[in-house]
Amino acid sequence: MHIKSSLILAILIFSISCNTSKKDKNHDEKSGATKIVNVIHYPKEKHLQNIKQLTFGGDNAEAYWSFDNTKLTFQATNKKWGLDCDQIFTMNLNDDLSNGEIPQLISTGTGRTTCSYFLPGDSTIVYSSTHLASKDCPPVPKKEDYGNKYIWPVYKGYDIFVADLKGNTLKQLTFEDGYDAEPTVSPKGDKVVFTSTRSGDLELYTMNIDGTDVKQITFELGYDGGAFFSPDGNKLIFRSSRPKTDEEIKEYKDLLAQGLVQPTNMELYICNVDGSDLKKITNLGNANWAPFFHPSGKKVIFSSNHKTTHSFNLFMVNIDGTGLEQITYDAVFDAFPMFSPDGKKLIFSSNRNNNGTHDTNLFVADWVD
């Protein structure tokens, strides 16, 4: 899972409650939500033009483009749609959901899903789901049971599936006992990268798009995930929380034994598709995640709260770690950026323009270098 936005909001709310000794002027004491700021485009967001809101309520995240730049696949939880946890949907870029229309369901409607991505030809989608383990939504751990720390479940029921655009499940790609999720597809159309616990740790693997020729490509202790291919298909960018001290290592191993991780301190790494030439490209502190390559292949856009734990915004950095630049300026949460294959547009998830609620919606913008 690429860290769900509703859970990230829990970090923000918790950070505000822990770090504010008196009522924050930007905090609504009655609702617990941030101050209402109904803005679609902030003035400093010079790389974005013609921003358009695509969804209107619920929790919508991890939207990814089809190869032909015309369709999107994403995950959503929306009580009005009868959903108690994430399911996978697809929509055309020009679809209008402003009147409550429900987009095409791709997943089974049971279990919990995450991380969907178009396969070559744009007629099938790969995604992760727990529906074979149970038709029910899996339980979410309570942070009060873990010292009020932000904890994320690594559900061992996740496997990777392929479905068509009508929601017919066509194939199961992984069969291991444990977590197999977070699949994304190479622009070359030949490989999938994903995260798995099959080695006993959360590592990155690649496989052919038919599920064959599985290869482990990361080996260091820690949570490696959220990987994406470079535009030429030769490199991978991913985020990792790698424990170093004895205390950190013990905590990581103890949580993982319970099917849990605490991914609040993450940095970005880049490597070749086979795992060679591994390099850490950020050292910003806090959570740096959801990276995606700029169309040039020379930069990476990502989400971070390194400037303030009260908000996540999008930043861009060169692949050698230089030239950090802030891209968005939202008051709460911007994440999951992805450039369209033609490099003309950027899709992202945000809490902007949500009337002070915790709704996370999808936004698309024309990209200006």
> What would the DSSP string read from start to end of 117-162?
EEPTTSSEEEEEE-TTT-SSPPPPPPGGGGTT---EE--TT-EEEE
> Would you state the pLDDT for residue 25?
34
Residue type, 75: Q
Model's pTM, two decimal places? 0.92
> Would you state the pLDDT for residue 230?
98
How many Å apart are CA 319 and CA 40, to the nearest integer? 29
Q: C-alpha distances in angstroms, 195 versus 282, 308, 343?
A: 21, 29, 26
* Cα torsion angle, 17, 21, 27, 29, sign: positive
Bridge pairing between strands 361-367 and 48-53: antiparallel
Q: What domains appear along the chain, each with residue ranges and CATH number?
A: 5-367 (2.120.10.30)
> Would you state the pLDDT for residue 316?
98
How many Å apart are CA 163 and CA 8, to the nearest integer? 28
> Would you state the pLDDT for residue 147?
84
Per-residue pLDDT tens listing for the chain (369 residues): 545 544 454 444 333 333 333 333 333 333 344 457 789 999 999 999 999 999 999 999 999 999 999 999 999 999 999 999 999 999 999 999 999 999 999 999 999 999 999 999 999 999 999 999 999 999 999 888 888 888 999 999 999 999 999 999 999 999 999 999 999 999 999 999 999 999 999 999 999 999 999 999 999 999 999 999 999 999 999 999 999 999 999 999 999 999 999 988 999 999 999 999 999 999 999 999 999 999 999 999 999 999 998 899 999 999 999 999 999 999 999 999 999 999 999 999 999 999 999 999 999 999 999
How many Å apart are CA 314 and CA 346, to the nearest integer? 11
Bridge pairing between strands 260-261 and 235-241: unpaired
Check if the beta carbon of residue 265 is closer than 8 Å to that of residue 287: yes
> Would you state the pLDDT for residue 35?
59
Q: Across 198-284, where does the E strand assignment appear? A: 203-208, 215-216, 223-229, 235-241, 260-261, 267-272, 279-280
